[in-house]
Amino acid sequence: MWTSLFLLLVLSDLLGEALYTEKEHVYVNVRKTWLDAQKYCREHHTDLLSINSKYEDGNLSLSWTNKSLPESWIGLHLDDSDSLRWSGGKIMSYTQLTNDEKMKAVKCGTKSTQGWHLKNCSIKATFNCFQTKVVLVKENKTWEKAMEHCHQLGKTLVNLQTEGSVVKTLQSSREAQTNHLWINLRYLSNNWLWVMQRGHLERKIFAAGRGKTMPQCPAWNDHCGVLSLEEHDFKSWDCAKKLNFLCN
């Protein structure tokens, strides 16, 4: 237990507070429920759109007006404990929701030229995804140092929760110098977890067919996850080994 807590703190420090990730806005002109829109974004892009600062919102609003985009889903939603989060796990800090909107009983977020709104998640609306660029870093580093390096780029080690992202990652890994690449997977509190935002971990959701061979009780030092370029699968690996890695 102590080890897990310690690791959590180290990870929180490495991830920092204000991650700015360069992302491309993708508007999808197909009507879906919020959950189906999320699924689509995760399969074809990175995730439903999150908006983390007034700069991001300002730039988006400009292109929104420019492209005459209608009110459409963004990644905002009320979780089971009624906290407003972005799809992907980050707690909402910057907001354009008015207090009236926050009082509503419905749980999924949209953006229009007028601001952000909460709507019934079952409504079908067009939606907004974002896409981040996966960067292969051709340097050999330990898992912790690799995470630190990604952080300096305003990114994190790549998170491969969907089939789409694994395929895209394999495509951008052709020039890798090592047969295994660090990914954002850690063994903590007896579970393999994707490391999300500051202090927030998500239980494993392995992409179709992958991760099945991850050991339930890995050796004490094999507590980090890699993507094997030969087997196209995830494996547990010694965190102190030095490998190339992927940030996004």
Ligand X SMILES: *[C@@H]1O[C@H](CO)[C@@H](O)[C@H](O)[C@H]1NC(C)=O
Alpha helices by DSSP H, listed for the chain, are 2-15, 34-44, 54-66, 99-102, 143-152, 163-171
Among 3, 9, 13, 59, binds ligand X (CB under 6 A): 59
Stretch that binds ligand X, among 32-40, 108-116, 136-144, 191-199 (CB under 6 A): 136-144
Could you tell me the smallest distance in angstroms from the CB atom of residue 199 to ligand X?
26
By CB under 6 A, tell whether 13 contacts ligand X.
no
**Alpha-carbon dihedral sign for residues 159, 164, 167, 173:** negative
105/219 with CB nearer ligand X: 105
Residue 113 touching ligand X (CB under 6 A): no
Report d(CA 45, CA 119) in Å as an integer: 23
Report the residue from 98, 177, 213, 221 that binds ligand X according to the rule CB under 6 A.
177
- Out of 95, 126, 131, 140, the only residue in the binding site for ligand X (CB under 6 A) is 140
Query: Cα dihedral angle (94, 98, 102, 107), rounded to 10 degrees?
Result: -80
CB 242 within 8 A of CB 140: yes
Alpha carbon separation from 8 to 1, 119, 130, 189, 199 (Å, rounded): 11, 35, 28, 10, 7
Q: Using the rule CB under 6 A, which residue among 6, 13, 24, 55 binds ligand X?
A: 55
Contacts of 135 (CB under 8 A, 6+ apart): 153, 155, 246, 247, 248
Instruction: Name the residue with the smallest CB distance to ligand X.
Output: 58
Q: Does 189 bind ligand X (CB under 6 A)?
A: no
Tokens of 20: 């700015």
221 contributes a contact to ligand X by CB under 6 A: no
Q: Among 103, 105, 208, 217, indicate the residue that binds ligand X (CB under 6 A).
A: 105
Confirm or reject binding of residue 94 to ligand X (CB under 6 A).
no
Min dist CB 59 to ligand X, Å, is 4
**DSSP per-residue codes, 70-129:** -SEEEEEEE-TTS-EEETTSPBP-S----HHHHT-S--EEEEETTEEEEE-TTS-EEEEE
Q: How many helices and strands (H and E) does the chain possess?
A: 6, 14
At residue 244, φ and ψ (nearest 5 deg) are: -65, 165
Residue 235 C-beta: closest distance to ligand X, Å:
17
* Closer residue to ligand X (CB): 6 or 20: 20
Only segment of 28-36, 134-142, 159-167, 187-195 that touches ligand X (CB under 6 A): 134-142
Name the minimum Å distance from CB 208 to ligand X: 29
Contact status: 178 vs ligand X (CB under 6 A):
yes
Q: Which is nearer to ligand X, 136 or 214 (CB)?
A: 136
Site residues for ligand X per CB under 6 A? 55, 58-59, 62-63, 66, 105-106, 120, 122, 138-140, 177-178
